[in-house]
Every structure is written in structure tokens, then in C-alpha cells.
Structure 1
Amino acid sequence: MTTETSNTDNRFKDENYTLNNFQNEIFVECPKCSKRAVVKKETPYSYWSERVLSCPSCHFSQRGRKETYRVELKCNCSNCAVEINLTIPNVNEKKEKIAVKCKNCGITQDYEPRNISQEWLFSSRGKETESYFGLPLWISSNFKNYTFWAFNYEHLEYLKSYIFAELRERNSRTHWTMVEKLPVWMTSSKNRDKLIKVIKELEIK
């Protein structure tokens, strides 16, 4: 991908990219060591592609999402008929039977629960995330009351070219492009210098 810019007139010409153009490789915080890791698509530009997470620092890796189960039991105690209502989240394997102690009569017996399949995501830690694993984006910074982020350094450079430009040219298109959907605080000239400073800090992160 190339961005048409000129150092003499600060011109940007929209290449009609969408966010999907920048999601083949996304830098994230490693869930194990909190250093920079990467999420890569097995099939570039495919929305349905399986992803691979890998960290060069601690060598943690994971292919695809983990499937977990929410185990639910709603029944009555077979001894005293008191209602039993139990939920166990994020269980790695299906449970054909679980032993449950009745809070009323104290008898422990085996019951057959429901196993509800769910895709387990990592903790986002309250930060902006990528959508596949739910991990915090590595290239991210607070800007006033907003969060400035990019999926990777190529995405960051494209945003920088647009924000820095004094002349922004549209291209013939058949869809709304990524830069056309940017919020006002990112496109406003009054924030240009401060945003460029934030971007330069992120470039060496």
C-alpha cells in the first residue's frame, strides 16, 4: 500500500482503503507478558479467516479462538425438592455430570447439566481491542477524552499522512472509505499538531 503525499504541499489522495485493508496483521498486548504480540490472518483480507496470536518476547502462541462452555443446572434437589440454580462460566470441557451439594438438606448428588458452547475472549483490560481475540491494541494512546489507535504501523502511517495533509483529495469510489468515517476530532486542523506528536510517540513504541 502506498499513500500519495508530497512534502511540498502536504497532499493526501484517498486510496479507498477500509479498515479491512489493515487487519491482516494487528499488534496487540500479549496476554501473558504484556509486551508487543501480533495477530495474523491465515487468509489475508478474509473476514472469516482464522487468526494466529504469537508473542516474540515470551513465545506464547495460540491458533484460533478457544471454545469453552457455560455449564448450567436448573432443577430440584432429588432429596428435598428445593430448587437448584447453578451456573459455571468458562469451563474448558463439557460436563456430563456434576456433583452438587444441596444448600437445604446437605445431600451431595450427581446431576446432568446443560453445556452451552461459547467463544472465550481474553480480558480487554478496559482498552480498545481487536475483535478476534479481544486483546488490547498495542498502538494506542489517550488524546484528550478520546483514544487514538491503529492496527499496525502501516495503518498508523496512513492515518498520519491524512492528518498531516493540508489538502485531502477524494478518489472515485464505490463505498465509504476509512478516512471518510474518521471522527471530527481526528480530521480537525486545530488538533493536527498535537495528533502528529502522539503519532510520532507511537511510531517508536
Structure 2
Amino acid sequence: MNTNPSTAPMRFADPGVSLYAVAENAIQVVCPACQGRAEVVPWLDGQPRSPYSIRWPRRLACHACGHVRNWPGEAKHATSCWGGPVDPYFRQPLWLRADCCGGQTLWAFNERHLDILEGYVGARLRERGERPGMTMLARLPGWMKSAKHRTEILQVIGRLRASLSR
């Protein structure tokens, strides 16, 4: 995507996506064994999909070292924890996280999450969706919504995106 604020799209409409929907696919995390990039993915193991994706079992897998863990694992009553720079299931640090804007942490679960944040931050006109206040973008902290931080946030998003290709 475009990280140059002068050529960013003028308008962005909130797609109405929740943080849970962004996490339905792979979440990029730091591998607890080798510190490389691992993924947390839905792990159905032949079971039918539940209509509530946040309750699907998950698997953390590192392609570099082969480390694997399952959630909920042995504890069948494990709970997820949402809203910070760690994955909600294994609580591993996110791969896509960086310091930004004087001590804040910019984080994203995956490339789709980065795309949405980049489109929102880079736009000069931000339109609310059909459910104002209920979407991931409506709940962003003020520092991410501030136009004075646009350039720095877009630069950090660019660096995070580049880390996916390594």
C-alpha cells in the first residue's frame, strides 16, 4: 500500500470490520522458541467450523524451527485476551508491532490489519460505516486518529509491512 501521505487516497470509508474479524486468519507472532516469525491460525483438526470464530481452537506454528502449540491445549476453559500488542490466544508478542509517536505502540495482527490501518490513517476524509462506534477503526486511540501523526504512523506501517517479506 501507499505510505506517502501526499499521494494517499483522499477518502476512506470504514469497512465495518471488527478486531475479531481481522484475526480470523493468520496472526503474525514472535516464535517463543526461536524468536522468528510464527503464525497463529484456526485449527479445526477435521471439526466443522463454529459460527463464532473467536472460539475456534488455534495453533501456533513456526515454519523456521517447527515449534507448535495448540490452544486451548490441555486447559479446555482457556480464555482469549484482546486489545494489545500480543496475540489474544497464546499471548505471544505480535510480529507487527513498533514504537510510534513518542512512546505509543503501533500493532497489527496481519497484513490485512495493516492495510485497513494504512487506508484509514492515510486518508484526508474518513467516513464512518453503518455501525458507528462498533468497529475496529472507531475504537482506535486518539493518537492514531490525529492528523499530526499521519506521516510517522504511515512510515512505521511501511517498516512493519517490510518485515513480512523477510
- TM-score, normalised to structure 1, is 0.64
Find 1:146's aligned residue among 104, 122, 129.
104
* CA distance in structure 2 between the partners assigned to 1:171 and 1:64 by the alignment: 33
* CA distance in structure 2 between the partners assigned to 1:60 and 1:194 by the alignment: 35
After superposition, where does 1:123-202 map in structure 2 within 5 Å?
128-143=85-100, 144-173=102-131, 176-202=134-160
CA contact (8 A) 2:39 2:61 kept: yes
How many residue pairs match? The answer is 146
The letter of the residue matching 1:27 is Q
Q: Give the number of the structure whose residues are more often strand, by fraction.
A: 1
Q: Which residue of 1 aligns with 2:13?
A: 13
Instruction: Give the deviation of 1:118 after TM superposition.
Output: 8.3
* CA distance in structure 1 between the partners assigned to 2:9 and 2:74 by the alignment: 52
Instruction: Give the deviation of 1:163 after TM superposition.
Output: 0.2
* CA distance in structure 2 between the partners assigned to 1:152 and 1:194 by the alignment: 20
CA contact (8 A) 2:8 2:122 kept: no
Structure 2 residue 69 is the aligned partner of structure 1 residue 62: yes
The letter of the residue matching 2:130 is S
Pair member with larger Rg: 1
Distance 1:132 1:66, change over 3 A: same
Secondary structure of 2:159's aligned partner:
helix
Instruction: Give the deviation of 1:59 after TM superposition.
Output: 1.3
CA RMSD of aligned residues (A): 2.5
Distance 1:9 1:53, change over 3 A: closer
* CA distance in structure 2 between the partners assigned to 1:26 and 1:141 by the alignment: 16
In structure 1, stretches of 5+ residues that fail to align are 1-6, 69-116, 120-126
* CA distance in structure 2 between the partners assigned to 1:8 and 1:53 by the alignment: 35
* CA distance in structure 2 between the partners assigned to 1:8 and 1:163 by the alignment: 9
Secondary structure of 2:107's aligned partner:
strand
Instruction: Give the deviation of 1:175 after TM superposition.
Output: 6.1
Secondary structure of 1:129's aligned partner:
coil
Secondary structure of 2:126's aligned partner:
strand
Distance 1:166 1:23, change over 3 A: same
Distance 1:8 1:152, change over 3 A: closer
In structure 2, stretches of 5+ residues that fail to align are 1-6, 44-48, 79-83
How many percent identity over aligned positions?
35
Q: Give the number of the structure whose residues are more often helix, by fraction.
A: 2
Instruction: Give the deviation of 1:10 after TM superposition.
Output: 1.9
Question: Greater relative contact order: 1 or 2 (C-alpha under 8 angstroms, separation 6 or more)?
Answer: 2
The letter of the residue matching 1:133 is F
User: Which whole-Å deviations, capped at 9, do the CAs of 1:11-56 have from their partners, x for residues lacking one?
Assistant: 1011110101111210000010000000001348612110011111
* CA distance in structure 1 between the partners assigned to 2:39 and 2:56 by the alignment: 15
Q: Which residue of 2 aligns with 1:52?
A: 59
